[in-house]
């Protein structure tokens, strides 16, 4: 990823939210945020004038068999019209930030919805709910989006078993006889 956030800025985040974790050795470390400070963290990086991550580019989740991970990709664009009142300088770079939330409870995963901070996450969170089965608390309209309402199971989970197709008898002819299988 071009222009990943600087280590010095990550230190600022760590100072503000002591419970977040990231790998200081890695080149582009994802920031692991505990679920209880997720909303405060997102609101902070969106509005604080050091960060201004006002574009939530991607929301998704990954099933690691024993736990889930929510993944948010944030982007700060230096010509964003929303913060026009904040004087942006030319040397201000575009920035990327990857935020992750680890959900240890694999049986009933739940995470706060970020729609109150980033309204554009609504459909993407519904998609995650539909295909991965993660519940978003505080989501305005949490329903299945791609699959039918009466569908059971969440196909993108690694332990998902395909539903067997409905039984159709196979018929073949052997000599003069018709054989049903």
Residues at the contact surface with other proteins, assessed by CB under 8 A:
1-2, 54-58, 60, 62-63, 71, 73, 77, 79, 81-82, 94, 98, 119-124, 127, 131, 144-148, 155-156
Closest to other proteins by CB, 13 vs 154, is: 154
Closest to other proteins by CB, 62 vs 179, is: 62
Check: CB of residue 113 under 8 Å from CB of residue 135.
no
Closest to other proteins by CB, 24 vs 64, is: 64
Nearest approach, Cβ of residue 8 and other proteins (Å) = 23
Closest to other proteins by CB, 86 vs 147, is: 147
Nearest approach, Cβ of residue 5 and other proteins (Å) = 14
Nearest approach, Cβ of residue 142 and other proteins (Å) = 14
Nearest approach, Cβ of residue 58 and other proteins (Å) = 5
Nearest approach, Cβ of residue 178 and other proteins (Å) = 36
What single string gives the DSSP state of each residue in the chain?
-TTBPPHHHHHHHHHH-TT-B--SSSSSPPEE--GGGHHHHHHHHHHSTTT---EEEEEEEEE-SS-EEEEEEEEE-TT-STTTTSPPPTTPPPEEEEEEEEE--SSS-EEE--TTT-GGGHHHHHHHHHHH--EEET-TT---SSS-TT--S-TTSTT--PPPPPP---EEEETTEEEE-
Closest to other proteins by CB, 34 vs 153, is: 153
């Amino acid at each position: 990823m071009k222009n990943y956030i600087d280590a010095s800025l990550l230190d600022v985040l760590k100072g503000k939210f002591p419970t977040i974790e990231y790998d200081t050795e890695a080149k582009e470390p994802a920031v692991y945020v505990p679920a209880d400070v997720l909303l405060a963290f997102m609101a902070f990086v969106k509005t604080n004038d050091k960060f201004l991550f006002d574009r939530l580019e991607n929301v998704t989740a990954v099933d690691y068999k024993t736990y889930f991970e929510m993944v948010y990709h944030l982007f700060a664009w230096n010509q964003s019209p929303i913060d026009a009142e904040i004087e942006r300088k030319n040397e201000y770079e575009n920035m990327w930030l990857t935020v992750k939330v680890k959900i240890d409870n694999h049986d009933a995963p739940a995470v706060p919805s970020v729609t109150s901070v980033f309204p554009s996450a609504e459909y993407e969170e519904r998609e995650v709910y539909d295909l991965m089965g993660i519940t978003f608390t505080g989501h305005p309209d949490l329903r299945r989006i791609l699959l039918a309402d009466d569908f059971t199971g969440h196909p993108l989970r690694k332990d998902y078993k395909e539903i067997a197709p409905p039984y159709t008898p196979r018929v073949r002819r052997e000599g003069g006889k018709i054989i049903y299988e």
